[in-house]
Chains A and B, each alone.
Chain A
């Protein structure tokens, strides 16, 4: 494997609630939410890493730590050989140019009083990539790049539909010629016909510009389309990772299996299996042992007390890792293995 562009090692991020007075009187500590618990990922240049997880799994916190929007409590982040967590001043500005982020709701990240031409050109001017006078031509080029007409540069964000606004957000992130693009639920709020347009645009941009991407989504189907490799997160931990094709074809963590099973299918063939009382536990109170054990159909005695280590499982493309005591040890996945 080539040298990774981004390496995250053993990253931990906790959010502490403020201690309440009654809590202090009763000698209780403030509640602590564990958003990331010893998370490691690596992204090779030109690769797209998909991060999948349900709400509260820590996927957005991970992205925000990489951008230095949050300061992690432990661990390291290396981007292109540089220590991200130690960067200050000009270094940090350069990093934030090299790493761009696209959010779920472009309406809240676009200034409603700024014409979109200015919104797109401004970051490039600030970072000294272009002169102020070149702004219009520059923004026009980028708008065409993302499938909008040049003339739309004179309009305001509210004049666009959700899909178009997301195109504008992509154009603006490309304006500073980033090397890594982090898309956090970037297509989740869009209707399916428009979502497919945006996915095609992401593929095109990635191919043409040779971008490295981290694509965060709760939709497995979106990840299966875009990502070369995938990391499945559950309650602040990566529970399974590997080549997307390997993980989806032969999931080796019961949570991944549960996610794949729960995905609605058009042919309506899935037999609904009611698992009635198994909501995701609170990240304030992560279960001991394997964090998935309260919901796991395969849980054994050891799962209640021992946090499972990551185990490499044999896979066609290699690098398939699962943090489960039970499943990776089974040679082949048979129906009998998944009750």
Chain B
């Protein structure tokens, strides 16, 4: 597979939820591309539009939301106009998804073997015996101990970490080219989280699949992603290579997020500094920059600036023209 072939290209994606006269824009002109073998992170706090953006890619925006505008190109094909049948054919084959809560994704009345077998027969076109062998291989691959015994287990027999491993095994069963991961480790303990993230990156090294990772945790993003997009109130406010964004954040919101993260430093370093104010209310956003009510650098012009990045994922763009030179 070509190393930097663009698998997925998203342009001006706008997702709206109806609310009275003016719809709420859960995502507003979001644009990015995902390359084979790379990991792109979408980071932001609750309600910033990261999950709905991820779900929109496979036509899974929750009702009554809808994609208002934009393009979603999968290897050149516009998925926005793709039929249900076509999307269903893509899901689990070329593009797979892992969710936050593995418990609600597994059917409690079927065994792990039943559920993996179904995916392998339907998505990878295997026969029963072959599917069984492959299921054992996959469980072994994701680090589930005694995989043959686990095939007969029901979801409630497994711990949260093990269930998430099973979900990953199912997601990678048909060797997808892109894995969409929505907060895959948020419900897990920190030591389990580390194992799951390592596993995802390991699978990526072996298969060259691309990963689109949504997380609220900057630390998780910093440790796993090549590129990162920071979202606030449905807008992209900063985008760039992950080390550059983490080391020298350009947007005041990103700077605030990084400073708000409590650190493990106990040597009396700078304590975490809160971002003042309340989380954004999509129904009452100010004109211009959505972050201005909470921003220390806000000035009258902020109400008039368009929220657009001055650079792309490779050029480290920021949507704030005023933060440069100001104390970080």
Contacts and interface: CB of A to CB of B under 8 A. Distances in A.
Interface of A: 54-55, 161, 163-164, 191-197, 199-200, 218-222, 224-225, 244-245, 248-249, 258-268, 270, 272-280, 282
Contacts of B264: 220-221, 224, 248, 260, 263
Contacts of A164: 278
Nearest to B258: A266
Given A244-B266, A249-B266, A266-B218, A196 B189 contact: no
Interface in B245-277: 246-247, 256-258, 260-267, 271-276
Contact of B274 (A196, A259, A268): A196
Report which residue of A244, A264, A267 has the largest number of chain B beta carbons within 10 angstroms of its beta carbon. A264
Interface string B185-197: 0000111111101
18 contacts: A54-B189, A193-B279, A196-B261, A196-B275, A199-B274, A219-B262, A221-B264, A222-B262, A224-B263, A224-B264, A248-B266, A262-B190, A264-B223, A266-B219, A270-B223, A272-B198, A274-B195, A280-B159
Contacts of B160: 55
A100 B52 CA distance: 39
B75 interface: no
B40 to A, nearest CB: 15
B279 A280 contact: no
Contacts of B261: 192, 196, 221, 266
Given A225-B271, A249-B266, A266-B219, A196 B191 contact: no
Interface of B: 45-46, 143-145, 159-162, 189-195, 197-199, 201-202, 216-220, 222-223, 242-243, 246-247, 256-258, 260-267, 271-276, 278-279, 294
Given A225-B271, A274-B198, A191 B219 contact: no
A268 B223 contact: yes
A55 B189 contact: yes
B262 A199 contact: yes
The 4 closest A-B pairs by CB, nearest first: A264-B219, A276-B143, A193-B275, A196-B274
A194 B198 contact: no
A193 B144 CA distance: 36
B246 A196 contact: no
Contacts of A260: 264
A279 B192 contact: yes
A260 B274 CA distance: 23
A191 B279 contact: yes
Nearest to A245: B266
Given A54-B189, A197-B276, A266-B258, A249 B267 contact: yes
Contacts of A266: 218-219, 222, 246, 258, 261
Contacts of A249: 266-267
A199 B260 CA distance: 10
Contacts of A221: 261-264, 272
A191 B143 contact: no
A198 to B, nearest CB: 8
B278 A163 contact: yes
Contacts of B143: 274, 276-277
A196 B199 CA distance: 31
A295 B274 CA distance: 36
A275 B161 CA distance: 13
Nearest to B46: A191
Given A54-B189, A161-B279, A191-B45, A224 B201 contact: no
A194 B274 contact: yes
Given A54-B190, A272-B198, A279-B162, A267 B262 contact: no
B216 A272 contact: no
Contacts of A280: 159, 189, 191-192
A192 B266 contact: no
Nearest to B160: A55
B260 to A, nearest CB: 4
Contact of B193 (A258, A262, A278): A262
Contact of B216 (A161, A192, A218): A192
Given A219-B190, A221-B262, A276-B199, 17 more contacts: A192-B260, A193-B256, A193-B260, A195-B260, A197-B274, A218-B190, A249-B267, A259-B191, A262-B190, A266-B218, A266-B246, A266-B258, A272-B194, A272-B223, A274-B195, A274-B199, A279-B192
Contacts of A259: 190-191
Interface centre among B144, B161, B256, B278 (most CB of A within 10 A): B278
Nearest to A197: B274
Contacts of A218: 189-190
Contacts of B258: 266
A219 B263 CA distance: 10
B202 A274 contact: yes
A267 B279 contact: no
Nearest to B260: A196
Contacts of A268: 222-223, 242-243, 246
Q: With a 10 A CB-CB cut-off, give which of B144, B201, B218, B222 has the most chain A CB atoms.
A: B222
